[in-house]
Amino acid sequence: MSRLAVVCGGSRGIGRAVSCLLAERGCRLVVVSRREDAARAAVAALPGAHHQALSCDVSKEEEVQRTFETIQKMCGNITYLVNAAGVNRDALLLRTKPAEMVALLHTNLLGSMLTCRAALRSMLHTRGASIVNIGSVVGLKGNAGQSVYSAAKAGLEGFTRSLAKEVASRNIRVNLLAPGFVHTDMTAELRGEDGARSIPLGRYGMPEEVAQAALFLLESSYVTGHVLVVDGGLQLAL
């Protein structure tokens, strides 16, 4: 039986590129996003068969629980989990309403905790299971106008390292991927002519370039609790 990979936030952007790469490597994919039509469209474009699309808001505990029970029944044990579901709303803290803070923290931090928790039960039965959480270089370095988003991503770093220690004895690896600016819907409004000036490599990354790094972390056998930065050198300039 081929490896089963669950990609949360797999309908667009980085998650979609990771899904494609994993499907090319022969994995069966479960693509999860809030909009089922978008997840279905992403699955329809994947190479190979036996992929599934499921709608789930990762910030909602009951939905996550139900979704992972469905995955277990329909597809069996999970080998890979990628947490790419994320949202961002750039705003100074003084202009951010508490409800917006909660929404950002729930999707970007709590969401990954809930999906990891739900997937781990299944992963205990898989040899060499692996989780990749998608953080951000701003979680490591901070960025004005992104304090809440950065806090969520920084929290994800601590969560990843701690969980890596918790589950290492079961041969489950947990790593964090920290991209810089990547060409996706999330950065569509940011990309002006000057947008890439602060990036040493002089350009935004492509989702496929981040996906290559995710694949390395998923398939490696001796890397855990690691933060892999994929940012064209941006953190050197921050």
Contact residues for ligand NDP (CB under 6 A)? 8-9, 11-15, 33-35, 38, 56-59, 84-88, 107, 111, 134, 136, 179, 181-182, 184-187
Decide whether 15 or 155 has the Cβ nearer to ligand NDP.
15
- Give the shortest CB-76-to-ligand NDP separation in angstroms: 22
- Give the shortest CB-46-to-ligand NDP separation in angstroms: 14
Instruction: Answer whether 181's CB lies under 8 Å from 234's CB.
Output: yes
The helix or strand, by DSSP H or E, that contains position 130, with its residue range, turns out to be strand 130-134
- Give the shortest CB-136-to-ligand NDP separation in angstroms: 4
Cα separation, 213 vs 216, in Å, equals: 5
Burial (CB < 10 A; 0-12, 13-18, 19+), residue 209, is middle
Q: Which of 80, 149, 204, 222 is catalytic?
A: 149
Active site annotation includes 149: yes
Decide whether 171 or 186 has the Cβ nearer to ligand NDP.
186
Decide whether 125 or 200 has the Cβ nearer to ligand NDP.
200
Angle at 188 between CA 184 and CA 193, to 5 degrees: 115
142 torsion bin: left (phi>0), alpha (psi -120 to 50), beta (else)? left
Known catalytic residues?
149
